[in-house]
Structure 1
Amino acid sequence: MALNHGTLHQDPALIKWNNMNANRHKYFRWTPRTAWVTFAYVVLVPSIIGTAFYMTDGKYEMRGKRRGDLIVEY
């Protein structure tokens, strides 16, 4: 019979990782790598996607097409 009902042995590595993950904002530093990654995801990727959508605006029509019809309007 088990002496400790309902308790689990806690892994010290998981506890350390959980504390680090919860307090990540306290240990964050701006480095060239983190600045570049932030710039890429905040500015570069949305601008590329927005430019692609702007360049193809109105070019494709998906509604009311039958088999064999082209989706390209011009």
Structure 2
Amino acid sequence: MAGDHGPQVLHMDPGLIKWYHMHMNRYKYFRWTPRTVKLTFWYVFAVPTALGYLAYKTEGKYNMRVKRRGDTVLEY
């Protein structure tokens, strides 16, 4: 079956190994900086709030089902 059957045939690139270890241990090196705070605010709070508000305000306003040529998409 497939598996490790002997010595490593290909030489591993040291840069890729370093990137892999950094990727797997990223949580150990994370720091809250002004940039990460801003990005977290936008992606966790501002964008979902804006999309939720937009969805709430346009709920039931558009009907995309069974429209023929010349029919409007707006319900009211």
- Report the TM-score, using the length of structure 2 for normalisation: 0.84
Q: Distance in 1 between matches of 2:63 and 2:69?
A: 14
SS of the residue 2:49 aligns to: helix
SS of the residue 1:57 aligns to: coil
SS of the residue 2:44 aligns to: helix
Q: Distance in 2 between matches of 1:46 and 1:7?
A: 49
Cα deviation 1:3-54 (Å, max 9, x = unaligned): xx87111100100010000000000001111011111111000001111111
* 1:25 aligned partner, one-letter code: Y
* 2:47 aligned partner, one-letter code: V
Match of 1:19 among 4, 18, 21: 21
- Between the aligned residues of both structures, percent identity stands at 59
- Report the TM-score, using the length of structure 1 for normalisation: 0.86
Q: Deviation of residue 64 (structure 1)?
A: 2.1
Q: Distance in 2 between matches of 1:66 and 1:50?
A: 30
Residue 55 of structure 1 corresponds to which residue in structure 2?
A: 57
Aligned residues: 70
Which runs of at least 4 in structure 1 moved beyond 2 Å after TM superposition? none
Q: Distance in 2 between matches of 1:18 and 1:6?
A: 18
